[in-house]
């Protein structure tokens, strides 16, 4: 929720900008960690969802580790207080320089996505006189029932190592001196709202880990990745993701062996709802068929609608006029620079503040300078309202 007091403060800020509700972020973390404590689970926040330093620091202080997908993310995590022992690193295309960065830092685990990658990590670790802890990112061939661009666990997706490769992977690892297998890793997609995906994932984890256990290979860690969805349609009514059902389902369905640890990598569910993209209306353009609200924020600030056909709830923060139907668009010279079609808003005027909600995850972090636009800055509720 964006308060009246906050909207008053917006008047002095150049739009568009990202506004973060720090109180909601902390509340979300409180709920999340209440479950991880209860079930003795470990969590690594997926930095790629939002890498603003203040956000990272708040999450680090709440006790989460960091899940990284590049060498620079590993560096950023360390810079913002995450202990290397609480950093994991995934990604299908880790470069030699990135691997060396992570080896030098002494991160907890490389989540490996292919056979050749394991060989390279071993060779680079040998060259540095160290041993890398690795987990196998397994592609379990599960459809997460989400948008195809954020599905990652199907046979045709580029991520992970497939079960038919287990034999050759374990034979390879047996012969490598500078990697140590410490776990299995699964991350099957993002914005998963069909909760039946999670029990299915737990059954796949059991089936796949059995393959290793049957061959006398110890699996110390089970990492179930992230992926829990948030309510983009009703952010004010459901500001906190359904952690209760998520963890209850996993706890009920996942078979954990004595001494085994369970890890998670939430991204969107932690930061999605605390961020809003705030813009001003530049023009209201009356066409023959349509009325367009043209914002000063565009796909350069928030690309999710153009990239994934995602929808963010749109709110006029100031008008109380008659409800009218609009297409809400940005200023960028692309037809896909559109935030909503047939959106009902109170009658809208030049200068009104319009919020795009649920923009905390994969929002600011994906911003770009296309059309040579300036990057939107971040403002935080606790600093703005003090
Ligand atoms: C992106 C990503 C996550 C986080 O996904 P969310 O849907 O934001 O929770 C977790 N693990 C890995 C390996 C990822 O790439």
Question: Final residue of a domain: which of 265, 284, 307?
Answer: 265
Q: For residue 117, say if its preceding peptide bond is cis, omega within 30 degrees of 0.
A: no
- Cβ(233)–Cβ(313) below 8 Å: yes
- Beta carbon of 304 within 6 Å of any ligand 1 atom: no
Query: By three-state DSSP, how is residue 341 classified?
Result: strand
Note whether residue 22 is domain-resident: no
What is the atom index within ligand 1 of the atom nearest the CA of 192? 7
Tell whether pTM > 0.75. Answer: yes
Q: Are residues 82 and 230 in the same domain?
A: yes
Predicted pLDDT of residue 156: 73
Residue to substitute in 32, 42, 48, 194 for testing ligand 1 pocket (most ligand atoms within 8 angstroms of CB): 48
Note whether residue 328 is domain-resident: yes
Q: Are residues 320 and 179 in the same domain?
A: no
Q: What is the domain count for the chain?
A: 2
Predicted pLDDT of residue 153: 67
146 Cα to the center of ligand 1, angstroms: 13
Q: Are residues 296 and 324 in the same domain?
A: yes
Q: Tell me: the pLDDT tens digits for 66-116?
A: 999 999 999 999 999 999 999 999 999 999 999 999 999 999 999 999 999
Predicted pLDDT of residue 150: 66
- Beta carbon of 73 within 6 Å of any ligand 1 atom: no
Predicted pLDDT of residue 372: 97
Predicted pLDDT of residue 159: 83
Predicted pLDDT of residue 157: 75
- Beta carbon of 47 within 6 Å of any ligand 1 atom: no
- Beta carbon of 103 within 6 Å of any ligand 1 atom: no
Q: Tell me: the pLDDT tens digits for 300-343?
A: 999 999 999 999 999 999 999 999 999 999 999 999 999 999 99
Residue to substitute in 46, 50, 185 for testing ligand 1 pocket (most ligand atoms within 8 angstroms of CB): 46
Note whether residue 45 is domain-resident: no
User: What percent of the chain clears pLDDT 90, i.e. is strictly above it?
Assistant: 92
266 Cα to the center of ligand 1, angstroms: 6
Kindly state the tokens that stand for 310: 């995602």
Note whether residue 55 is domain-resident: no
Question: Final residue of a domain: which of 228, 243, 265?
Answer: 265
State whether the Cα torsion 6-8-10-13 is positive or negative. negative
Please work out, in degrees rounded to the nearest 5, the angle formed at the alpha carbon of residue 70 by the alpha carbons of 66 and 74.
40
Q: Are residues 215 and 145 in the same domain?
A: yes
Note whether residue 376 is domain-resident: yes
Q: Are residues 131 and 86 in the same domain?
A: yes
List the CATH number of the domain containing 298: 2.40.37.10
Q: Which segments in the chain show pLDDT lower than 70?
A: 149-151, 153
Q: Are residues 184 and 303 in the same domain?
A: no
- Beta carbon of 267 within 6 Å of any ligand 1 atom: yes
Query: By three-state DSSP, how is residue 366 classified?
Result: helix
Note whether residue 47 is domain-resident: no
- Beta carbon of 266 within 6 Å of any ligand 1 atom: yes
- Beta carbon of 49 within 6 Å of any ligand 1 atom: yes
73 Cα to the center of ligand 1, angstroms: 13
Q: Are residues 325 and 214 in the same domain?
A: no
Q: Are residues 153 and 236 in the same domain?
A: yes
Q: Are residues 185 and 294 in the same domain?
A: no
Query: By three-state DSSP, how is residue 337 classified?
Result: coil
Note whether residue 42 is domain-resident: no
- Pairing state of beta strands 132-137 and 109-112? parallel
Q: Are residues 213 and 114 in the same domain?
A: yes
Q: Which residues pair with 380 in a beta bridge?
A: 20
Host domain of residue 285: 4-17+273-384
- Beta carbon of 373 within 6 Å of any ligand 1 atom: no
- Pairing state of beta strands 353-356 and 109-112? unpaired
Note whether residue 23 is domain-resident: no
Q: Are residues 91 and 239 in the same domain?
A: yes
Output the residue whose Cα is nearest ligand 1's atom 11: 225
Question: Final residue of a domain: which of 265, 283, 309?
Answer: 265
List the CATH number of the domain containing 160: 3.20.20.10
Q: Are residues 257 and 299 in the same domain?
A: no
Q: Which residues pair with 110 in a beta bridge?
A: 89, 134
């Amino acid at each position: 929720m964006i308060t009246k007091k906050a909207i008053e403060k917006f008047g002095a800020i150049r739009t568009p900008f990202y506004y973060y509700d720090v109180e909601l972020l902390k509340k979300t973390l409180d709920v999340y960690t209440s479950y991880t404590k209860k079930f003795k689970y470990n969590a690594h926040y997926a930095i790629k969802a939002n890498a603003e330093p203040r956000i990272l620091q708040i999450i680090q202080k709440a006790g989460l580790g960091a899940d990284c997908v590049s060498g620079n993310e590993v560096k950023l995590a360390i810079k913002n207080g995450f202990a290397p022992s609480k950093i994991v690193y995934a990604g299908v295309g880790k470069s030699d320089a990135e691997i060396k960065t992570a080896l030098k830092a002494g991160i907890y685990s490389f989540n490996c996505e292919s056979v050749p990658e394991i060989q390279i990590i071993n060779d680079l670790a040998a060259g540095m006189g160290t041993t890398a802890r690795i987990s196998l990112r397994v592609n379990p061939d599960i459809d997460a029932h989400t948008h195809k661009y954020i599905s990652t666990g199907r046979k045709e997706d580029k991520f992970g190592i497939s079960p038919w490769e287990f034999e050759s992977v374990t034979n390879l690892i047996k012969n490598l001196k500078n990697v140590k297998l410490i776990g299995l890793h699964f991350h099957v997609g993002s914005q998963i709202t069909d909760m039946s995906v999670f029990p299915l994932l737990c059954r796949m984890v059991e089936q796949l880990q059995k393959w290793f256990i049957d061959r006398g290979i110890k699996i110390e860690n089970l990492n179930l990745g992230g992926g829990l969805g948030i309510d983009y349609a009703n952010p004010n009514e459901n500001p906190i993701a359904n952690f209760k059902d998520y963890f209850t389902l996993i706890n009920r369905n996942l078979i954990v062996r004595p001494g085994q640890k369970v890890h998670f990598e939430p991204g969107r569910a932690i930061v999605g709802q605390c961020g809003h993209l705030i813009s001003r209306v530049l023009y209201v353009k009356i066409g023959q068929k349509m009325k367009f609200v043209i914002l000063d924020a565009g796909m350069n600030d928030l690309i999710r609608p153009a990239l994934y056909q995602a929808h963010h709830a749109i709110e006029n923060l100031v008008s109380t006029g008659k409800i009218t139907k609009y297409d809400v668009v940005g200023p960028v010279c692309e037809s896909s620079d559109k935030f909503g079609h047939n959106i009902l808003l109170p009658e809208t005027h030049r200068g009104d503040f319009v919020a795009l909600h649920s923009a905390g995850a994969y929002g600011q972090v994906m911003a770009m300078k296309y059309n040579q636009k300036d990057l939107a800055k971040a403002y935080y509720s606790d600093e703005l309202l003090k």
